[in-house]
Amino acid sequence: MGAIYGLWLAQYEVLREHGHSPSEAFNETVEEATQSLYPLIAENGAVVPVSVEVNAPMTPQSYVKHIYVVADKNRIPIVTRVALTPASGQAYMGANIRLGETTDVRAIVEQSDGTLFALKREVKVTVGGCGG
């Protein structure tokens, strides 16, 4: 178990012991627990590496069900969707996406209970990668 995950799990368990629901406990730490590794400037919009990691328990009672990556100004905004189960062990995805222009890129995390969390970051594109 990684140190960050261990710290998050300890905080999550303390919040649960104090009466917080799984969603509330997750919400309390989502800013700290969600790590997004987008480059701030993409040299080439045709190949923009992104990865999203959510340090949250992956138990049958509460787990990350989907991770979406959305590029607001792309012709097709939803650029990737990853489906996860508790058997996945870790909520992580990594992919190369295409961006046609400078845009906000969002990581949207859906929990098993339907709760959604989002993180946004602007990515500047110097050479577009979607044609046109």
pLDDT at 128: 63
pLDDT at 7: 56
pLDDT at 9: 66
Write down the pTM of the prediction.
Answer: 0.69
* DSSP collapsed to 3 states, 66-121: EEEEEECCCCCCEEEEEECCHHHCCEEEEEEECCCCCEEEEEEEEECCCCEEEEEE
Average pLDDT (10-25) is 71
